Amino acid sequence: MNIEDYTLITRHTVMASDLNMHNNLYGGILLNWLDEAGYIFAVETCKFSNLVTVALNNVAFKSPVKLGDIIEIYAKLNKIGRTSISIKLFAQNISVCHNCQPRPIIDCDIVFVRVDKKGKPQLIKKTKEKNYECQC
């Protein structure tokens, strides 16, 4: 994994309300942040927003995150299929407890599917002007 291939999408400060009973960041909160960052990257890449998350793969939490830590979420395009966009996500933790040296916390894949008004998969078409068809 080379972070230089990725784009920084979001940053979050870990608040008291984000912690579990062990005083670590609750995993579900991080999944929420990953889903949001993936969605932002997908919309910016494809130029449409009618996307639903179909899969979040290879999720493993590598080290605990504590109150006041700063989480950075990076994304990189993996591939665009017929109806789906697959994105690589990477998150790192900046903590004063570790002299603010970034520590990797997750490295996973997220897949979104473009859907029509009935929620069925819709083709992702390329155009000459914008690369991908805009729905606006």
Ligand X SMILES: CC(C)(COP(=O)(O)OP(=O)(O)OC[C@H]1O[C@@H](n2cnc3c(N)ncnc32)[C@H](O)[C@@H]1OP(=O)(O)O)[C@@H](O)C(=O)NCCC(=O)NCCS
Contact residues: ligand X, CB under 6 A: 52-55, 81-84, 111, 113, 115, 119, 121
Identity of the residue, 104 or 119, whose beta carbon is nearer to ligand X in the bound complex: 119
Identity of the residue, 47 or 103, whose beta carbon is nearer to ligand X in the bound complex: 47
Selection from 15, 35, 10, 34 nearest residue 25 by Cα: 15
Structure-token pair, residue 119: 């929620």
Helix (H) or strand (E) holding 95: none
Q: Are 37 and 9 in contact (CB under 8 A)?
A: yes
Rounded to the nearest whole angstrom, what is the least distance from the CB of residue 65 to ligand X in the complex?
23
Identity of the residue, 65 or 110, whose beta carbon is nearer to ligand X in the bound complex: 110
Identity of the residue, 24 or 83, whose beta carbon is nearer to ligand X in the bound complex: 83
**How far apart are alpha carbons 15 and 76 in whole angstroms?**
27
**How far apart are alpha carbons 68 and 5 in whole angstroms?**
27
Rounded to the nearest whole angstrom, what is the least distance from the CB of residue 29 to ligand X in the complex?
16
